[in-house]
Structures are given as structure tokens and as C-alpha cells.
Structure 1
Amino acid sequence: MIHRLESLVLRHTLRLPVPSGPAGQGDVVARQFDAVLMSMGFKLSAELLARLSGLEPKAVTVIARRTLGTVREMVGDHVRHNVYFVDFPANVPDTYDFWTDCIADALADESSRENTLAQLRTGLVDLLTLPAYGNYRHSYAEMLAAHDELIAAAGDRMTVLHLGGPLDDEVTALYLALAGSTTPLGEEGLRDLVTLAGRCATGPQPEEIPVRENRAVVNRARLKAGADLVVDTVTDVLRLACALSDGDVTLVGPTRFRSPSRSVRRTLLAALDSVVAASPAKLADVNAHRERWKRLGERLHAHEYAERWPHAAEVFAVARGEKEAPSFDSRVEELLGAGDVGGAARLLGSAPGKLFRALDRLLRTAATPDEREAVVAAAESAAPEVSGRVLLSVREHVGNRERADARRVFVNRHGGAWAEADTRPALPASTRERLLAVLDAETRRRLPDPGQLLVDPAVLDVALPLSGRATTAGLGVLPRGSLSAVEGDLLRFFVHWKQKRRSTDYDLSALLLNSRYETVTWLSYTSLKEVEGEHSGDITDAPEGASEFINLRLGVVRGDFIVPQVNIYSGEGFEEVEESFFGFMLRDAEQVGRPFEPRTVRMKSELRGPGRVALPLAFVRAEDGSWRAKWLHLYLKGSPGFNRVEENRVSAALLLRGIVEREQLTVRHVVGLVSDRATDVTVWDGEAALPAGPVTYIGLERPEGLHPDSVVITPENLRDLIPA
């Protein structure tokens, strides 16, 4: 369990809890540990190295083994990355020459000759029936022998691991940060919160748990520990019931409710009863999930407790349609149907979050300047009661409502995405500007005084994580819409997957588009070589895991956009396989090495989403010719099978255009809001000496030497920039 908790803290914070063990002379082993880490693009901070050096060598060895396992998984080095073409990227053949050779090999093989001849007579040959196609033709050791050792370069990634506090303190701090997050967590974050909540349910708790999914996870742990529940809506109880059945606490997917114990049934019914007794209007929330409530009622035996908890019984009466509970939304719709926009705005003022989510519709429905004024006035009055995440989300939305010819990109909480033309009229300029001023003023009011502000310029174009799946789990991953610099001559993508139950074929591809989002060319198993680079070859089965790579020379790329994608050709989906992840590496032109070199990895993210086509990120050429990564984290629905880059290039281009042309709310926006309250603002390039006193530091990585009382914001805790 200690190893698991250490690993969890390390993944989320890049901090190693204070190593414990007998004092000794562990400096030699500690330096060896540091050297192995550096080969993977990590290193120990000076403080952590000193702490390890003071321990007994055996203790350092145990810590090193645990840490190296976590680090290897973080960077994707825990698996063997083989390639189809043994000396990739050298000597990759022309696609049609390669296919011809595969056919020739099949004809020379007695076991496949007859079938291949029969296919040739029809004029169509299935590549998957050719013995030489789709499976590794050499061992992993033979592949390694075909490659020279990697030449170190100044641009290789080096991620510093810092010294943390005692394990219990680090675990508690991480629990408080995740449970009290102002933005929804992704799949990994929720899973880790389950582990942390089980350990921390009876200890210190966050002042508030604003995200309802987080609240469900915490309530499950508190229920098991005998602590009081945190519920103030009937839906909180429903989410808790889903959590107790290992179901979907987001209420997006279905949950098969289990029959709980008698004590749990009583606890859930008592919680429902207290919520409805305190606010009968909350019965209206039942309407949104009627079927779930009916199924849950059967498991709770609610009818047996109708006299003891009559208000809880009302919940299930509403679900069965035996009791009326007009919803708040229906009253709003009645007013809008009657043309009373001002009345709808005033009613929504009693539910500030709903008002802000409906602002665009209200402003478009308003027929006169007076009605628009009533809507803006209602928003101004309600702004102090709206969550910081909603404030910033609406701010980003309003900031993009200047154009009437934009494209709308729709992304659900799981990353499923689609795009369509925006047919809404633009909002009037005066209305937009007033709303933006209201939103910025309220956000500025909530942000803490930063004191001395130290900012890494590389972080300014990182998007704020306003949604749960804006960022997927992984190393070096940034929220959807972020821009980050790409420095290197060679860009190499990789995908790795391991099937669980049935043969599974993933295909790595790269689509190249011009400035008008038109296709220039692509690299895939159907196009192994282009001017720009090479594909490592198609692997069609992954019982032990499989990898594919694409190598690109950025200096000769035709076009302005590079869009890597992972297509599911056949077999298990991204959420079915045992493991699947994507990443990219950057190298200098003179660097050689293996196809996969961990210290050249700039990003590695899990592939866990709906659909059959993954679009992790894109690369955009700037006006000065340099390249930047634009983070997408999107999934296309695709076809049930046989997805190929040629068939989804139009939909991929539409999504890319919608993301690229949208103005994202970034760290730059928050820095601008608090700069006038800072005692000093310094753009820190990493070379100048750090201030001696505490600062608020915002950057891509925590620098060594910061004052211990400094507030540090990096991508690992970027959500802390979003006020409550």
C-alpha cells in the first residue's frame, strides 16, 4: 500500500515523500539511482539527492526500485517498443514495393500459396492473409542491436523529482486538493480520489467539495467510515448510490444498482428525507433521472420506510409519476414561450449557475435593448454567487461570440467531439463588452493577492482546465486548447496498445493539412514514406503489446498543420484494451538511438475515450516558421471497423479548425487579472537568480531553489488558478 501511495503522490506532484530508513552512506547508490533516472529524462533535485545520500544503501535501493517502476510507466518505458521494420526510420520501403514483396513471400510459402493465387485471380488481395504482413519478423533484442546508442543532446527532456514531506502529509494534501478541486477530475483523478478518500475519510476535510462527482466518491468513503455525509440535493444521494454500486457517478452512463445492506438503505433514505424536508422544491431534480430513481427505489425498499421517512417516499412518488414536482426549467420555458425574457432572467437569478449557462440564449431571444439590459443586469447581480469555473467558462464563451461565421465544436465530458457551422447571430458588441467586464471584475475580486509574481513565459498560452476531461492522464500533458513550443528537428509519434481478449489492430497515422485545412498528404500503413518522413510499419495483433511510430522531419513538412491520430481498424476499443497510450518525442537531426528513447519523450497520454478515432493533439506552424503543439484530447465516433485516415480526414480537419480558431482562456488571462495587485511581476526565463523570499510562481515546471513558503502553480495543479 505504501508503494501505491508513493506512486500516486509522485504521479500527481512530481514529489517523492520524505524517504525513511536507517542513516548511512548511501551516496554512491543515490548517484547511481540519479544516473538511471537521467537516462529516462528525470533527475533528483539537489535536496532529494542529499536526503537519499544520508540513508543506508539498502534503503536507497528499495526506494529506487519503487520509484523507477512509477517513472517508467509515466514515460511509457515500462513496455518493449518493437517496430515492424527493424532499422526504422532507415530503409523503410515504398508502400507498393513492400506489399508486392509480401505477396511474393506468400507465393513462395506452400501453406499460403493457393489462397494467395485465388485472391490474385479476383484482382484483390487481403493484406491480413499474407504471412509476412502485420506481425513482428524479428525479436526485440534484434531490433535493439540494429540501432546505435542515443547521442545525448542539450534539448533532451529533464524532469526534476523534488523532495516531499512525510508520506501521510503528502497523501492528506493531495486528498484535500483533489476532493476540493473547483473543476471536475478526469478518469484517473477520480480513480485516485477513491484510493485517497478511503484512507483520509476520517481525517482533515476540504472546507467545501464543489464538484458533485468528487462529493460522491468522498461520501462513499465517509459512509464506510461511519462519518457524516455531505449532501444538499437529492442528486447527491443518487450519485452516492451509483458509487456504492461501482457505477458512473457522473450519471452519464448506466449503473446496475446492487442491493445494499439494511444499514446503508437506512442511511440513504435518511439523507433523502433530510434534503427534501429542508427544501421541498428540490423534488423537481428527480425528473432529470426518473428511471434511475425507480430502479434505486426497488433496491432501497423505500415503501417499507414510508412512515419513518415520508419525504424520502416523495422522491420515489415523483419518479413513478404519482406526485407532481414542476421543474425549475419548465417554469423558465413557460416564461420564454410567452416572450417574457426579462421575467425568465429574473427567475433564473435565483439559480445563478443556470442563469449564466442560459445567458447566450436569453440575449439572442431578447427582442429589444431593454430586454437585453434586463438580462445583463440579472447576470451582474448574480455573478458573486456563481462558481469560478462557470464564470471563466462563460467568459471564454462570450469572448468567442464576436463572429457569426465561426464553427462550433461540441465536446462531451468523455472527449467525444463533433463540429458544425455556427448559425447563431453574433452578440452585440456593447453587450459583449459589458458582460466581459462583469466577468473579469468578479474573477479578479476572487483571486488571491499573489505577492511577488514570478511567471515562466512558456506557461502563458496553457489553457485553463475548465472541464473534467480537458486533460487526460499522462506525462507532459496540457489542457485542451493549450499551445506549447516544439523545439527539435525530428518529431516522432508513437502509439502502444495491448489487447485483452481478442485480436486488436490500432493504426497510427498523421494527416498533413495546408492553411485552408485541405489535405496535403498523410503517413499511415497505406503510405509508408513521404517527403516528410516514414511510418514504422503496420502491426495487426497485440497479444503481448504492439507499437507503431511515425517519424517526421519538420524542416521539410508541406503544409501548416500536422494531425496525428490513432484509428481502431479492428478489435477492442480504447476503453476495452488492457493498455493503450500515445505520445511524441523530439530529437535533434544528428541524434540516432532506438525508435523509442524515454528521455526524448515530451508527452505521453493514456488513450481512454469513446469513439474509434483518437485525436490527441495537432502541430501548428507559426508565422515565423516554428512549430507549436495544440492540445486536442478528442475522439471521433468513426466506423465500427476498418477506420483509416483517408476516410476521416474531413471530420478531423473540421474539428481542428474549430479548436484552432477559438480563443481559449489561458494562464495569460489570469496573470493579467492579478498583475495590478502583485508587489512585483517578473517574467522568469530560467536563467536569472531566484528571489530570496516567498513568491507566487506559475510555470511548466517547479524550479529548484524556490523559497519553501512559495505558492507554486504548474500543470500538475493548474486547477488552483480557478477560484472557488
Structure 2
Amino acid sequence: MLQRLEAMVVRHTRRLPAPAARAVHAGAALPAGQGATAARQFDAALMSVGFKLSAGLLEQLAELDEGTVVDTARRTLATVRGITGDHVAHNAYFVDFPANVPDTFAFWTSCVTEALADDASRASTAGQLRTGVLDLLTLPAYGNYRHTYAELLAAHEELIAAAGDRLTVLHPGGTLDAEVTALYLALAGSATPLGEEDLADLRVLAGYCAAGPQPEAIPVRENRALVNLARLDTGADLLLDTVTDVLRLACALSDGDVTLVRPTRFRSLSRPVRRALIAGLDTVVAAAPAKLADVTAHREAFKRLGERLHPHEYPRRPHAAEVFAVARGESAAPTFESRADQLLAAGEVTAAAGLLAEAPGKLFRALDRLLRACPGQDERDAVLAVAERAAPRVAGRVLLSVREHLHNRTDEPGGTRVFVNRLGRAWVTPDTRPAVPPDARERLITALDAETRRRLPAPDHLLIGPDVLDVALPLSGKATAAGLGVLPRGSVSPVEGDLLRFFVHWRQTARTTDFDLSALLLDASYGTLGQLSYTSLTQVEGEHSGDITDAPEGASEFINLRLGAVRGDFIVPQVNIFSGEGFEEVAESFFGFMLRDGDQRGRPFEARTVRLKSELRGPGRVALPLAFLRGPDGGWQAKWLHLHLKGSPSANRVEGNRVSVATLLRGVVGREYLTVRYLTDLMAGSGTVVTRWDGGALPDGPVTYVGLERPAGLHPDSVVVTPENLRDLIPG
């Protein structure tokens, strides 16, 4: 458990908890203060995978005994290799890739020739040729590695170090308990929903930290469910103020989905647990009977939960019984939304706004509709006044989401709407809504900016790394994958290097699974110029490493692109599931990209050139992690997408989704996201001194630093915000 907790701290914070020195037994270890040599060797090993010890951490490790440093190095190297994707052997179908990749037709011809020369496959291949349709998967030479990973390594020269190689610095941390507690408080108290991996980590941390300090507030309901799970085990009071809190806790008890997106199969529960859940429901409804309306949104889940809780066994808890009566349809509990709909249908817009003000978050999510429904200026003014009064009670992420919506809510005809659900499933439709009057939109934007500015901290000195300014605010972490260098959807970051290389790795769980890495090349009008895929192994721009169709031990595919030769304005990598298990079924799957100088050589996969490694998880059969855009100066930028297309159950190919990908990309590229720049501008307007740090000397005193990487030499009392904890910028 302690090793797992240490790995969490390294992944989330890029800090290494202070190792405890090993006990020294006669002849078993060198005394403390003799770890300098081992620390330098540890640093060198880290650099081979793109990590490095900070000067302070190197000095700290050197003061320990050699055995402690070696143990720490072994654990930490395993963690960072997992972060970069270097924990697996990345073989490629063509042993010399990217050199000597054949033309697609020539390669397929060679596979057919080999099959005809093989007694076992000759008859089947000849029969298919006579029909005019040939299944490539029946050819012995197609889709499976023809060499070992060791043979691939022998075929490639060593990577030449370059100044542009990634170097992620690990900094010294406090004790393991202190670091784990701080991480728990940060995740549990997050103002924005967490992603799948972060929720899994919070579940572990909540159990470990149940008896320690707790967050002052837990605004995100999913987080509260996992904290309640730990509190239930320790006998502490549960944090419940809606019936849905109880439902989420029941899902957590069954290892189900606390986000309530996927149905949970509830387990049998012990009598003490049933009694606690029934008591929680009874208390919530007794205090606020109107909260029975929340049952309607999850009626089926509550019905299934009732079968496990046996509410009839608790006659002294009549309010809990009402929950399940509503779920079964025996009692009515109209929701805010349905009551507001009735008022709107009757033309009572102001009354609808007043009703929704009792649930301020729902009011703000309905503002666009309310403003469009107003028959005149008086009604619009009344709705805006209700919104201005309710704003202080609205969650910060909702304020920012509405602000971003209004910024993109223009009155230009012919626009499109991009929808992305909580799982990253995306679709685009024409925008046929009437415009929101410009004066109403501007008044609301002014009110939102003022409320956000009021909530933001006011540090004396805010130090900004310039590359972070175009990073989108993480208003939700649900569809943002875990990994290295991952930024929120809509973020833009520069791409520097001669060679851009994508990679995908997957390992199937139980059945043959074929993932296909592809890349679309689009012009400025989103028209297709070309592609790299298993059906198009070579183009002017680069090469595809070859198709792998089975991955019991894991498989990798690569696309190599010479950026100087790329036609058009967009590069869109994608991962298509051709057959087998989905992204959420495979044992492991991740996507990433590397950047190299033209003369660096090296293996197909080199950890220290990896700029992004993103877990592939989602409900669709086509993944679109990010796209590359040619900037105004001719250079390239990465724009993060984190999207999935539903696709087909099988045989997904880049040729089949060109139009949908281009349409979706047009909608995402045309949308303007709220970025770090927006918040820092608000802070500057409140009197905070904001300085862009260009890599020079750092201030002597403490600052609040926001950047992509923590710089060495910051004052120890500084507040540091990097992509790993960017959610801390979102006001509560």
C-alpha cells in the first residue's frame, strides 16, 4: 500500500516523498550520508526516460544510505516509466521503421506471394483470389510481428540527445503521510469533477486518510460519495444533503459508477449498512421533502436499490419509504425542471426564473432558454436581475461554463453546436436557436466576470509561464484522460521539432483485438488531402509502421511525420477499433506523440522524446485525442480534443469517418475556450502584480506560480499550479 501511495504522489505532484532511511545492520548497508553515488546513478537512469532529480532532491538523497536510495530509485523508475509508456516493449511490424517502409500495394503483394508459397495457406489464398476478394487477415505474413523486440533494438542506432528532449523534474516532497494527506485534501475538495483515474485514486486515499484531516467542503458529489464510503467504514457521520448522495454511496459500496452515468449492479448489503443508508434517506427527506424530486432523474436506479435495502423492514423510517414510492410511481414529486416547463408553457418566464432560483445551478444552466423566451425587455431585465442575485450561490465551474457559453453565443447565422457528453462522446448539429439579445448577453457577461473576480484569490505576486496562458480551464476532468502532458479540451500548445511521431499501444484482455492508428491530413477548408494508415503506409509526409491485428502480449503502431513536408493545415490522429474489445475492455491502451530533431535516430519509441501519453478510455469505437493546427506564423500547434465517435461495432477505418471527423474538428476549432489567460487578466484587474516569467531570475520571496512545469529555485513558500493541479485555479 505504501508503494502505491508513493506512486500516486509522484504521478499527481511530481514530488518524491522523503524516503525514510533504512535501518543499518552490520554489513548490510552503508551509513547515512553515503548515498551520493547511488543518487547520481538514479538521476542518470531517470534522464534516460525524460525525468530528472531537482538539485534539492539530489542533495537530499545523497544524505541517505545507499540502500535507501537504491530502493527509492527502483520504485520511482517503475512509476515514471508507467507515466511515459516506457513500461512496455514497443515493437513495430517493420523492423527498420521509419526506414524501408514499403508501398502499400507492394507490401500486400509480398504477403500474397508468401501465402501462395506456403502449403498451409496456398489453397485458401488461391480460392479467395479467384473470387476477387482477399481477406488480408488470412495471410500468414500479415498483422503479426515477424521479429522479436530484441531484433528491433539491434536494427536501430542509439538516440542522439538533443536540447529539445523532454525533461520532467522531480522535486523533494515532505513525509509520505504529509504528501498523501495533502493530495487527499486536494482531490476530495476539488471544485471540478475528477477523471476516472483520479476518482480511483481518491477512493484509495479516502480510506487511508479517513481518520486524518478532512476538507472544509466537498462540492463535487462524486467525491463526496467516496469520502462517505470511508466514513461508513470508520463509523463517522455521513455527509448527505440529497437523496442522490445516498444513491452514489450505494454505487460506491458495489464498486459501481458514482457518477451515475453507467448503471450499477447493486450487491447485497449488510444490515448495518442498510440501516445507515435508510437512515440517511429518511433524514434528508424529513428535513426537505422537496428533495424527493431528485428521485425522478434516477428512478430505475432507486428501484433497484430499494430491492437491496428492504425499506419495509424499517417502519420507523417513513420518509425513506417515500423515496421508493416515488421511484415506483406510486407518489408524485415534480422536479424543478418540470414545474419550470409548465410556467414557461404558460408564458410565465419571470415566475419560472424565480422558481429555478431556488436551485441556482439549474437557473444558470437554463438562462439561455429563459432569455430567448422573454417576450419583451421588461421580462429580460427581470430574469437578469434574478440571475445577478443568484450568482453568489452558483458553483464557480458553473459560472465559468456559462461565461464560456455566452462568449461563443453569437448571433451570426449558419453556426453549429458541438455537444460533448461526460464520457467524451461528441456530435455536431446546426445551431437553429434564436439569438440572445446582445445587451442581455453583455450584461450577463459583466455580472459573471465580476462574481468570478470577487472569488479569485488575490496573491501579491502572480508569476506566469507564458506557455500556460492558452491552456483551457479544466471545468470538468471527466472526459480528460490521465497521462503525461495531458491538457484540458480546447487547450493549445506549441509543437517544436522536425519529426512528429504518434504511437498507440494496447493489450487485449480475452479476445483478439485490432486497434488501427491513422492520421488524416486536411486543408484549410477541412477537405481531405491524404492519410497515413494501414491502407496507406507511405505518403510524402511520412510513414506508417504497419498493421498489428492481435495483441495478447501487447502491440504498438506508429506514424512518423516530417512536419516540414506536411500539406495542408490540419493533422488529425485517430485510433479506430477494427475488431475485438473496446477501449474500456482492453487490459491496457494509450496514445501519445513524440517530437524529435531530424538527426536524432533512435528506436521507434524513446521515452525522453514523449510529449504526450494519454490513456485511451471511452465508450466510442473511434478515439480523437487531439489535433495539430498550422498556426498563423506557419508553425504547428496541438489542440486537445479528448473526443470519441460512436463508430461501428467493427471494421472502423479512417476512410469511413473522414466527413464526421472534419465536421467535428471544424466545430471544436471554431469554439473559443476560457483559458488561464482569462483568470490571470481578472486577477490583474484586481490589483495583483502579474509577471510573465521568461526563464530568467526568480523572485526572492514567495509567489503564486502558474506554468506547465515548476521551475527550480522557487521560494519554498510559493503556491505552485501546474497541469497536475490546474483545477485549483477554479474558484469554489
Q: CA deviation at 1:410?
A: 1.0
Contact kept, 8 Å, 2:537 with 2:546, in 1: the verdict is yes
2:252 aligned with 1:243 = yes
Instruction: Tell me whether 1:525 sits opposite 2:534 in the alignment.
Output: yes
Superposition TM-score, scaled by structure 2 size: 0.98
Conserved? CA contact 2:453–2:686, under 8 Å:
no
> Secondary structure of 1:682's match?
strand
Aligned equivalent of 1:13:
13
Give the Cα separation in 2 of the matches to 1:613 and 1:453: 41
- Picking from 333, 338, 345, the partner of 1:330 is 338
1:631 is matched with which residue? 640
Distance in 2 separating the partners of 1:31 and 1:279:
62
**Distance in 2 between residues matched to 1:193 and 1:604, nearest whole Å:** 22
Deviations 1:2-22 (A, max 9, x none): 110000110000010011105
Over residues 420-463 of structure 1, what are the superposed CA-to-partner deviations in whole Å (9 max), with x where a residue is unaligned? 11111232221111111000000000001021111011000000
On the 8 A contact 1:453/1:678 being kept in 2, the answer is no
Residue deviations 1:649-687 (CA, integer Å, cap 9, x gap): 11111111111100100000000000133442211011x
2:354 counterpart of 1:340: no
1:221 counterpart = 2:230: yes
> Could you tell me whether the CA contact under 8 Å between 2:520 and 2:528 is conserved in 1?
yes
Deviation at 1:471, TM superposition (A): 2.1
Residue pair 1:694, 1:710 contacting (<8 A) in 2 also? yes
Return the alpha-carbon distance in structure 2 between the equivalents of residues 317 and 120 of structure 1. Answer: 65
Report whether the alignment pairs 1:710 with 2:710.
no
Q: 1:261 aligns with which of 270, 283, 307?
A: 270
**In 2: Cα distance, 1:205 partner to 1:664 partner:** 33
CA–CA distance in 1 between the matches of 2:184 and 2:630? 40
Q: Do residues 641 (structure 1) and 650 (structure 2) align?
A: yes
| Aligned counterparts of 1:678 and 1:534: Cα–Cα separation in 2 | 53
Distance in 1, matches of 2:342 and 2:119, equals 76
Match of 1:621 in 2: 630
Contact 1:450 1:678 in 2 (8 A): no
What is the SS of the residue equivalent to 1:73?
helix
Q: By how many angstroms is 1:294 displaced?
A: 1.6
Paired residues of 2:630 and 2:637 also in contact (CA < 8 A) = yes
1:470 positional shift = 4.4
> Paired residue for 1:384?
392
Task: Tell me, yes or no, if structure 1 residue 41 matches structure 2 residue 50.
Answer: yes
CA shift digits 1:267-306 (9 cap, x unpaired):
1111111111111111111111122112211211101102
Amino acid at match of 2:9: V
Give 4+ residue runs of structure 1 displaced > 6 Å after superposition. none
Aligned residue number for residue 727 of structure 2: 719
Residue type at the aligned position of 2:7: S
Task: State which of 213, 222, 236 in structure 2 corresponds to 1:204.
Answer: 213
Tell me which amino acid in the other structure corresponds to 1:164.
G
Query: Which of these residues, 576, 579, 592, is aligned with residue 583 of structure 1?
Result: 592
SS of residue in 2 equivalent to 1:111? coil
Provide the residue aligned with 1:145 in structure 2.
154
Any stretches of 5+ residues in structure 2 without a counterpart? 23-31
Report the equivalent of 1:88: 97
State the distance in 1 between where 2:325 and 2:436 align.
43
Change (3 A) 1:679 1:214: closer
Q: Post-superposition shift, 1:321?
A: 2.1
SS in structure 2 of the partner of residue 418 of structure 1: strand
User: Secondary structure at the residue paired with 2:487?
Assistant: coil
Letter in 2 for 1:677: S
Paired position in structure 2 for 1:135? 144
| Partner SS for 1:509 | strand
Letter in 2 for 1:543: P
**Matches of 2:81 and 2:169, distance apart in 1:** 14
For 1:165, the equivalent position in structure 2 comes to 174
Q: 5 Å matches for 1:285-304? A: 285-304=294-313
Distance 1:343 1:436 in 2: 23
Secondary structure class of the residue paired with 1:708: coil
Q: Is 2:319 the counterpart of 1:311? A: yes
Distance 1:71 1:468 in 2: 22
Comparing 291-300 with 130-139, greater Cα deviation is found at 291-300
Structure 2: distance between partners of 1:723 and 1:367: 35
Q: State the 1:366 CA deviation.
A: 1.5
Q: Deviations over 1:556-605 (max 9, x none)?
A: 10110000000000000000000000000000111100000000000001
1:101 paired with 2:134, answer no
What's the offset of the Cα at 1:58?
1.0
Contact 1:404 1:424 survives alignment (8 Å): no
One-letter amino acid of the counterpart of residue 330, structure 1: S
- Cross-structure match for 2:29: none
- Give the partner amino acid of 2:558: F
User: What is the count of residue pairs matched by the alignment?
Assistant: 722
* Cα RMSD, aligned residues only: 0.9
Residue 110 (str. 1) matches residue 119 (str. 2)? yes
1:668-720 deviations in Å (ceiling 9; x for gaps): 0000000133442211011x100000001110010111111111111011001
Residue correspondence of structure 1 range 456-605 to structure 2 within 5 A: 456-605=465-614
Q: What is the Cα deviation at residue 324 of structure 1?
A: 2.2
What displacement does 1:407 show?
A: 1.7
Secondary structure of the corresponding residue to residue 673 of structure 1: helix
Compare 136-145 and 323-332 and name the one that shifted more: 323-332
Aligned partner of 1:364 in structure 2 is 372
1:469-520 deviation per Cα after TM superposition (whole angstroms, max 9, x unaligned): 2421000100000000000010000000001100100000000111111111
Contact residue 423 and residue 479 of structure 2 kept, 8 A = no
Per-residue CA deviations over 1:629-668 (Å, capped at 9, x if unaligned) read 0000111000000000000111111111111100100000
Q: Secondary structure at the match of 1:184?
A: coil
TM-score by structure 1 length? 0.99
Report the CA distance between 1:136 and its aligned residue. 0.5
The one-character-per-residue Cα deviations of 1:331-379 (angstroms, maximum 9, x if unpaired) are 1111001011111112112211110000011111122122221221111
Q: Is contact 1:242–1:255 with CA below 8 Å preserved after alignment?
A: yes
The amino acid of 1:341's aligned partner reads: V
- Post-superposition offset of 1:24: 2.9
CA distance in 2, matches of 1:567, 1:474: 20
- Choose 539-548 or 338-347, whichever is displaced more: 338-347
State the SS of the aligned residue for 1:442.
Answer: helix
Letter in 2 for 1:712: V
Whole-Å Cα distance in 2 between the matches of residues 63 and 670 of structure 1?
39
C-alpha spacing 1:644/1:231, structure 2 compared with 1 (3 Å): same
Note the residue ranges of structure 1 that are not aligned, 5 or more in a row: none
CA distance in 1, matches of 2:687, 2:147: 60
In structure 2, the residue matched to 1:350 is 358
Alignment check: 8 A CA contact 1:404 1:425 kept:
no
Deviation of 1:322 (Å): 2.2
Pairing 1:439–2:451 present? no
Q: Secondary structure at the match of 1:249?
A: coil
Q: Secondary structure at the match of 2:701?
A: coil
| 8 Å contact from structure 2 (residues 680, 690) kept in 1 | no
Alignment match, 2:28: none
Kindly provide the CA deviation profile for residues 251-271 of structure 1, in whole angstroms up to 9, marking residues without a partner as x: 111111112111111111111
> For 1:110, what is the secondary structure of its paired residue?
coil
Distance 2:443 2:413 in 1: 19
Q: Is 1:74 the equivalent of 2:86?
A: no
- Residue 682 of structure 2 aligns to a residue whose secondary structure is helix
For residue 59 of structure 1, the aligned residue among 61, 65, 68 is: 68
